[in-house]
A = this chain, B = another copy of it.
Amino acid sequence: MSSRITPRSKDYAQWYQDVIAEAELAEVAGVVKGCMVIRPHGFAIWEAIQQDLDRRFKATGHQNAYFPLLIPMSFIEKEAEHVEGFAPELAVVTHAGGKELEESYVIRPTSETIIGHFFAKWIDSWRDLPLLINQWCNVVRWELRTRLFLRTSEFLWQEGHTAHATHAEALEEQRRMLDIYRDSCHELMAMPVIRGTKSANERFAGAVDTQTIEAMMQDGKALQSGTSHDLGQNFGKAFNVMFQNKDGEREYVWQTSWGASTRLVGAVIMSHSDDDGLVLPPRLAPIHVAIVPIYRKDDERSAVLEAAGKVAEELRADGLSVRVDDREGMNPGAKYYDWERKGVPLRLELGPRDLESQSVMSKLRIAEVNEKGRPVKEALPLEGIGARVGQILDGFQQFLFDRALARQVENTRTLDTWDDFTACFEDGDSGFVWAHWDGTTETELAIKEATKATLRCVALPGDGPDPEPGACIKTGKPSAQRVLFAKAY
């Protein structure tokens, strides 16, 4: 059935590409270096993520706006660390309207600079704060080694930009948005994540502090799935964003920014899919239920299609997205395969015998297997089908989260010796490791050099082992707490 998908055990990277190709999620643009085309089924997943995040942003007082795609080159250069971080990745517009431009523009790699410029115009008094803005848009960061969804020269994302009167308020905001990313990963994407703080070396260029959510993929690698930055007053000073406080004094604002991107689609694919193709958590799935009518004769056909239509109607009334697969010239088996590889959570098979028994045969995208090695199907009575399907999908959502969490727990180790650490990362599927670190960039880079493992984060309280002092796994120097290491995408 799934011969067109390379098994994970054989070639994980090829498996990922095959899953995407077979589900028609996206493809490499080819003619535009490092870019991709997001096909309808992939884009529908992104739309579901967008809607969920957008609802959460608005519920916490944020408003959407839109700023120019093009940024004057001089803006990028105003914040010293920012330009250093982004300069190598910039795409530059030098000509427009048939003429060479006096000053080149860069295509936004992120928008702190241009938004800083407008914040300076809009903010005057403490009454204008907090200013809570979000933008859904495309950004370009020229990449040489690309991978669909995970790393492309152009990608879609949202970038939040906020300004506050105090550092404490900015820190609250930074954490609030990190938690929103975590909640969306857990509740919508069924993807457990660990929240933490990035090391200085992995920090956003221009930030005082970067917080991250890290998810574990099926090969044990980490995927950074969203970041939230405390920008301090760095961009406030670079763009002169000042406000008059309640005491009548002029101060620089405190800013945050936070972003999540189409990378999340890649994270979802890698979290849940299997050798049969895409697996999607129901809350994220563009199609919840595929109904495959089964018939041989024409009179069977009309009765079966009519019944399928009625079931679809009832499920749609419960807010589900349902596809009745009435394609001609395609046998049921081929239809099963098609919806499996596209990650539709639940399939219903409806034939003349089901009609007689007033039931329908159901098959979950990931089903238990019976003693003959066949997937278990369950007959559902047509009476009350809406409620039953709702329960099944809720259960499947929970199953996927639990399975991903179990995998994360199982593949996470606490190590104390350099030998164990290097041995662990020699392995292909190395997983997460909690280990002590002396807090220096030098050691962090030496560990990466030796093992290819990177410091993912210093976990927030509750997301990692309880802090206890120890000795750095590499240098033996004192360490305040274990931090998270993993190979990463």
> In whole angstroms, what is the CA distance A64 to B98 when docked?
32
Q: Confirm or deny: A69 has a beta carbon within 8 angstroms of a beta carbon on chain B.
A: yes
CB within 8 Å for A65 and B39 given contacts A31-B117, A137-B138:
yes
Cα distance A109–B94 in the bound complex, in angstroms: 16
Q: Once bound together, how far apart are the Cα atoms of A87 and B95, in whole Å?
A: 12
A344: min CB distance to chain B, Å: 16
* A37-B66, A71-B32, A156-B66 given; A93·B96 CB < 8 A: no
At the interface with chain B, which of A40-48, A392-400, A419-427?
A40-48
If A97-B142, A137-B138 touch, does A32 touch B65 (CB 8 Å cutoff)? no
A43 CB contacts on chain B under 8 angstroms: 63-66
Interface 0/1 of A36-75, CB less than 8 Å to B: 1111100110110000000000000001111111111001
B89 contacts A97, C-beta separation under 8 Å: yes
Q: Report if A91-B96 is in contact (Cβ < 8 Å); known contacts: A31-B117, A70-B35.
A: yes
Contact B40 A97 (CB under 8 A): no
Q: A88 — which chain B residues lie within 8 A by C-beta?
A: 97-98
- A94-B94, A95-B94 known; A32 and B64 CB under 8 Å? no
A105 at the B interface (CB under 8 A):
yes
Asked whether B65 lies within 8 Å of A138 as measured between CB atoms, the reply is no
Interface residues of A in 118-142 (CB under 8 A from B): 118, 121, 133, 137-138, 140, 142
Query: Would B65 and A40 count as touching, CB distance under 8 A?
Result: yes
Residues of the B chain whose Cβ atoms lie less than 8 Å from the Cβ of A90 = 96-98
A147 to chain B, nearest CB (A): 16
In the complex, whether A480 has a CB less than 8 A from a CB of chain B is no
Residues of B within 8 A of A69 (CB): 35, 69, 107, 138, 140, 154
8 residue pairs from A and B, CB less than 8 Å apart: A32-B68, A32-B105, A35-B68, A35-B69, A43-B66, A91-B95, A92-B93, A97-B144
Please name the 8 residue pairs, one residue from A and one from B, whose CB atoms are nearest each other, closest first. A97-B142, A40-B63, A38-B66, A91-B96, A35-B68, A92-B95, A32-B68, A96-B142
